[in-house]
Amino acid sequence: MTSNSLYYGDNLDILRRYVPDKSVDLVYLDPPFKSDQTYNVLFQEKDGSQSASQIKAFEDTWHWDEQAARSFEEAVEAGGQVAEAMRAFRTLLGTNDMLAYLSMMAPRLVELRRVLKDTGSLYLHCDPVASHFLKLLLDSIFGPGNFQNEIVWQRTLAHNMRTNRFGRVNDILLFYSRSAKFFFKQVYTPYSKAQLKRYRADEDGRLYKAENLTFSTVNPSRQFEWRGAKPPPHRSWGASREQLEEWYAEGLILLKKDGTPRLDGLKVYLSEMQGKPVNTNWTDILRIGNTSAERLGYPTQKPVALLERIIQAGSNEGATVLDPFCGCGTTIAAAQKLGRRWIGIDITHLAISLIRHRLRDSFGKDFRLEVIGEPTSLQDAFALAKQDPYQFQWWALGLAGARPVEQKKGADRGIDGRLYFHDEGRGGKTKQIIFSVKAGHVTVSHIRDLMGVINREDAQIGAFLSMETPTSSMRREAASSGFYESPWGKHPRIQLLTIEDLLGGKSVDYPLVADVTFKKAQQVRYKPLEKQQDLQMEPKSHKKKKRNPSHGS
């Protein structure tokens, strides 16, 4: 296994083949799940005779078919608590798409626990429709004692549509650890204006607030009288007598007019606070809007801020972060930005292509990305074309720098991909190249069809990508289409490229002035989070006072 690597393939196979035991510090996963299906579809009985198919990220659903049935049997045959949980799920659910989802997740979660270090943790991102089933499954794998938190992420604001139930605006994050020795670092958000109003200035101009010196617990050893003050019977001092004396000597205890300590009189300076500790209700990170600069056009894209929070809480710099359903690469981009090593896995070549462009846009054109499992030879390409023509199509388009026109299988009206460019300077018309990809036998009629599509779409160039070598009649037909003229010269209007050409480094001939094919990821200019005191513009010349770090803010 190498860190900072992207793997193409089924994550179950990749985990078993490439990722060693106890080698990962943090796992985040957002497995595809079609949450907008009606319940009677999700829970409808299936006979399992449907032919098995690969799980595709853009299909965003898992079906009860032969593959799911085999996965269920394997989970049961492995024995242990997982087998008990799966049998219980089948008794409760029957054989349906929800059971298929759990059957496919079970072996993957077992492998993810295997690769976690003893200090590691896992965050599973899911829909409330499935979260309670997944929590039981995780309990059976990690043990109930290693459940740490259920985090509710408010991903959007309230819906305006009137329905017969409350609006669904949240996702769930299930946080589990490998053991009791897991790493966790508290993360903070800046104080609100209302919270900052609690602070006042002392004689030196430093901002402070008064915290309670007592806790709402009855501890006889902490109910002593101290300097004329004593907690009420239902409360206790929040610190030992020695600590109270130390605070008193440092001038951190506020006094009444009679000179006795105030029970709510511990001075806590704003300059010593890191902010408001984040709890399990995350309402400050909204989903990526349609006009957001962060948006890349990937249907299940999550905000970078969400992954940054998880990575900062669950790992130190230099740690290894794993995302087995990495999609458009938000986890990878956040890990790279925060100085972590990373491993990404995805089963679609469209995702691989998006990630490659995203990392190059974010971290510079010299950023190098190793993709393991991607075809690198003509023999590999033949195998992929035979195994899955759609994956072959996405891979070939990615090789040429184009983006697929369809994210789901369906009618493409003769267009497999597009590539956009500008050659008229800023504000000029966007130009386009239409791509047609053929994995099988090719004839001159394919070139005539492509020419018709170019004319219909008012495109400047057409590119025909094929496994087979084009015939002489195909080349004559392409040559007869003429040239597109740009300020940089003439470019063949119809261009024929084989997979062998692309693997050899050949590319489409077009004006490489401003390629705008992929939605650009924002360039990363990483700046550490500012401390709360810096935000408040406080003087920095004052000596900091010690305070009990366990005392609440």
State how far the Cα of 244 lies from the Cα of 238, in Å rounded to an integer. Answer: 9
DSSP H or E segment with residue 13: helix 11-18
Sign, CA dihedral 185-189-190-194, equals negative
State how far the Cα of 414 lies from the Cα of 437, in Å rounded to an integer. Answer: 10
Closest CA to 14 of 165, 126, 115, 119: 115
Is the separation of the CB atoms in 533 and 371 below 8 Å? no
Is the separation of the CB atoms in 438 and 467 below 8 Å? yes
Is the separation of the CB atoms in 399 and 377 below 8 Å? no
pLDDT, mean of each 10-residue run, the chain (553 residues): 79 93 97 61 52 39 83 93 96 92 95 98 94 97 98 82 79 97 93 82 87 89 94 92 94 93 91 86 83 65 93 97 93 94 89 83 79 84 83 86 66 80 78 93 95 94 95 95 92 95 92 61 49 32 38 35
Is the separation of the CB atoms in 367 and 358 below 8 Å? no
State how far the Cα of 436 lies from the Cα of 466, in Å rounded to an integer. Answer: 8
State how far the Cα of 116 lies from the Cα of 113, in Å rounded to an integer. Answer: 5
What is the pLDDT at residue 118? 98
What is the pLDDT at residue 166? 84
State how far the Cα of 248 lies from the Cα of 251, in Å rounded to an integer. Answer: 5
DSSP H or E segment with residue 506: none
State how far the Cα of 9 lies from the Cα of 56, in Å rounded to an integer. Answer: 11
State how far the Cα of 436 lies from the Cα of 396, in Å rounded to an integer. Answer: 10
- Encode 427-454 in three state secondary structure: CCCCEEEEEEEECCCCCHHHHHHHHHHH
What is the pLDDT at residue 79? 93
Token representation of residue 193? 């204006």
Token representation of residue 245? 């004396």
Sign, CA dihedral 467-471-475-480, equals negative
Is the separation of the CB atoms in 25 and 183 below 8 Å? yes
Token representation of residue 191? 């104080």
Half-sphere exposure (Cβ direction) of 52: Cα atoms closer than 13 Å: 8
Nearest 5 degrees, angle CA 36-CA 38-CA 42? 100
Token representation of residue 354? 């998006």
Q: Which residues partner with 435 through β-bridges?
A: 417, 463
The predicted-structure confidence for 86-142, as pLDDT tens digits, reads as follows 999 999 999 988 999 999 999 999 999 999 999 999 999 998 989 999 999 999 999
The predicted-structure confidence for 432-461, as pLDDT tens digits, reads as follows 999 999 999 999 999 999 999 999 999 999
DSSP H or E segment with residue 395: helix 389-400
Which domains are present in the chain? 5-188+278-370 (3.40.50.150), 192-272+531-535 (no CATH), 379-515 (3.40.1350.10)
Closest CA to 209 of 150, 255, 270, 148: 270
